[in-house]
């Protein structure tokens, strides 16, 4: 790969990322209905992209499944706790009828989108601090992995699934995430455990990235869509965040670590 081609996607990636950070940061800061509407809209778009990859012949299903999942995500703000999991997974089961092939992928990845998106709402409910932390962890891991992978190269992390990802980029992502955790520990937001949790969250994000890469390779597409210049689609941009958010949801269900530390 030549020096120029190695970095040709950097400018559009940075520009698009700045817009996403501005919009997402404003919504996260506002919280409440503003954040709920943003997450519901993102859920609908990501489900639309997933259906676009798995059932390209079924254009109508993409639209109504996206709208259905967005509506369900918005409705979670008004549902009792015991109804949340059935409500989040119900649209996934409904969507099976619209996917002729790759139904297993649909069940798994659509569930990841719904649960990960709800994880964002659940995390915001604990306060803005933890949203900033998780975004910083995933972003630092992604940026460090991007530059280390291109500058250092080396053995591939999982060449059959994601041929561009290297071990150097993967490890650099862990280190960057650990540094973010250290900063949160240093300013008194959490104890030493946040460093370890940050690295684990970065790894969960990397697995989310790899999972989407595996889906795209299986169905033979380069990007989930072309909605974001330099990034492809919203699934391509938020795949790592979905993986980390799913782990956040599990951690919140099993422990009180995040609210106590916050």
Query: How much is the pLDDT for 242?
Result: 96
Assigned token pair, 192: 């030493």
Mean pLDDT score of the chain = 87
Query: How much is the pLDDT for 182?
Result: 92
Query: Do 153 and 60 touch, CB atoms closer than 8 A?
Result: no
What is the 3-state composition of the chain as percent helix, strand, coil, each rounded to the nearest 5? 80, 5, 20
Query: How much is the pLDDT for 7?
Result: 54
Assigned token pair, 206: 């990397």
Q: Report angle CA 254, 260, 261 to the nearest 5 degrees.
A: 110
* Residues near 248 by beta carbon (within 8 Å), at least 6 away in sequence: 119, 122, 123, 134, 201, 258
Summarize pLDDT for 77-90 with one digit per residue, the tens.
999 999 999 999 99
Q: Specify which residues 232 forms β-bridges with.
A: 228
Query: 9 vs 2, 17, 77, 86, 220, CA distance in Å?
Result: 13, 12, 38, 40, 21
Q: Which of 41-55, 105-119, 147-161, 169-183 has the lowest mean pLDDT?
A: 147-161
pTM score over 0.85? yes
Summarize pLDDT for 57-104 with one digit per residue, the tens.
888 889 999 999 999 999 999 999 999 999 999 999 999 999 988 999
Q: Which of 31-40, 48-57, 247-256 has the lowest mean pLDDT?
A: 247-256
């Amino acid at each position: 790969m030549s020096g120029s081609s190695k970095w040709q996607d950097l400018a559009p990636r940075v520009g698009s990322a700045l817009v996403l950070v501005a919009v997402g940061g404003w919504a996260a800061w506002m919280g409440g209905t503003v954040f709920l509407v943003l997450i519901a809209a993102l859920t609908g778009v990501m489900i639309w992209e997933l259906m676009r990859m798995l059932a390209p012949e079924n254009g109508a299903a993409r639209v109504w499944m996206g709208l259905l999942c967005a509506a369900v995500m918005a409705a979670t703000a008004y549902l009792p706790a015991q109804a949340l999991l059935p409500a989040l997974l119900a649209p996934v089961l409904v969507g099976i009828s619209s996917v002729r092939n790759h139904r297993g992928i649909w069940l798994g990845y659509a569930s990841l989108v719904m649960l990960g998106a709800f994880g964002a709402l659940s995390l915001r409910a604990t306060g803005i601090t933890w949203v900033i932390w998780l975004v910083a962890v995933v972003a630092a891991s992604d940026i460090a992995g991007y530059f280390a992978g291109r500058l250092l190269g080396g053995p591939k992390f999982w060449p059959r699934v994601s041929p561009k990802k290297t071990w150097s980029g993967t490890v650099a992502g862990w280190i960057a995430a650990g540094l973010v955790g250290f900063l949160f520990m240093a300013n008194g937001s959490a104890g030493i455990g946040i460093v370890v949790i940050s690295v684990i969250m970065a790894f969960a994000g990397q697995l989310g990235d790899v999972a989407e890469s595996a889906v795209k390779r299986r169905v033979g597409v380069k990007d989930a869509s072309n909605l974001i210049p330099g990034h492809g689609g919203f699934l391509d941009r938020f795949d790592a965040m979905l993986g980390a958010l799913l782990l956040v949801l599990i951690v919140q269900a099993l422990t009180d670590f995040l609210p106590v530390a916050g």
